[in-house]
Structure 1
């Protein structure tokens, strides 16, 4: 699929239509594999392309458009799951004491998560750009090796090599970070 991302960023509807018709079915199929709910998959797929159009100015010209569409799809999917979860678990039925305890626990969890995420990002920034992109698509976005190969138009063997090399580079740094945190927490 050869779409000029610059044209899409400039509001070219033909470029958007090309992206839409090229990726609608793959995005829908991906979401169906995650939810097994055709209505929800259809809803999230449509929201994905609305978001692609709304956020077209933020698209990167140097990153494959397919990878960007799937990243947006995953973000929209997670947002919709969160929305459904909030609606399902009505906070108006929770006591203030439970809410306070939950909020305190969530705050500690969020701080720990954000700190870990920042450390991971610093480590990932040390990887070569292509290796970092493949690793993030695999480990952070949950795409299969085959999906990544198709998105980036590389072989699955190249994807596997990038991930293997990334893990060899990341593990020692991550383990050292965990050890330092453990020592610090023991004080």
Structure 2
């Protein structure tokens, strides 16, 4: 049965993929939740695993159980997410001196809790603008990387940043 599903998914069958998704989603979510104790990581890793399953469907092996392949993908995805989270944490630690330069635009930074500053700056932004702004400022992604990650045009990223930066700078000045 699983080998048939693997063949169908490899051939691009959305029905097979939907079936696999509905069958494994909660099992995968519970597996990740058990490993991390985090509902956020469980949801994020589950979603990313199924995205990878679809993107790399042609490289699935018909010799291995589909469940084994899915759970291996989830495990490596979890490791990637945890590494990225740690990397972001380290970047944020250094952000007080260098990461807000695009927002601060030359303002001296005397505040040390960058997380709180960023939360205050972004609290009233629309969700997409907040996401784009965070990816740019916190993760230091380029407009092109953000565009690719969110499947939107570079012009859209640019427009959101054009709208966010003046308000963020004004908000930052009011915090001083």
Q: TM-score, normalised by structure 2?
A: 0.50
Alpha-carbon separation, structure 1, partners of 2:83 and 2:31: 19
- State the superposition RMSD in angstroms: 1.9
Indicate how the Cα distance of structure 1 residues 91 and 43 shifts in structure 2: closer, same or farther if over 3 A, else same.
Answer: closer
Alpha-carbon separation, structure 2, partners of 1:74 and 1:39: 15
Q: How far is the alpha carbon of 1:18 from its aligned partner?
A: 1.4
Indicate how the Cα distance of structure 1 residues 13 and 83 shifts in structure 2: closer, same or farther if over 3 A, else same.
Answer: same
Match status 1:53 vs 2:54: yes
Q: How far is the alpha carbon of 1:39 from its aligned partner?
A: 1.6
5+ residue gaps, structure 2, are 96-176
Superposition pairs of residues 54-69 of structure 1, within 5 angstroms: 54-69=55-70
Alpha-carbon separation, structure 2, partners of 1:91 and 1:32: 25
Residue 74 of structure 1 is matched in structure 2 by: 75
Number of matched pairs? 94
SS in 1 for 2:20: helix
Q: How far is the alpha carbon of 1:21 from its aligned partner?
A: 1.0
Residue 87 of structure 2 is matched in structure 1 by: 86
Residue 21 of structure 2 is matched in structure 1 by: 20
Alpha-carbon separation, structure 2, partners of 1:88 and 1:44: 18
Match status 1:34 vs 2:35: yes
Alpha-carbon separation, structure 2, partners of 1:31 and 1:92: 27
Alpha-carbon separation, structure 1, partners of 2:5 and 2:21: 13
Superposition pairs of residues 143-162 of structure 1, within 5 angstroms: none
Runs of 4+ in 1 over 3 A off after TM superposition: 91-94
Q: TM-score, normalised by structure 1?
A: 0.47
SS in 1 for 2:16: helix
Residue 4 of structure 1 is matched in structure 2 by: 5
Q: How far is the alpha carbon of 1:93 from its aligned partner?
A: 3.5
Alpha-carbon separation, structure 2, partners of 1:78 and 1:85: 11
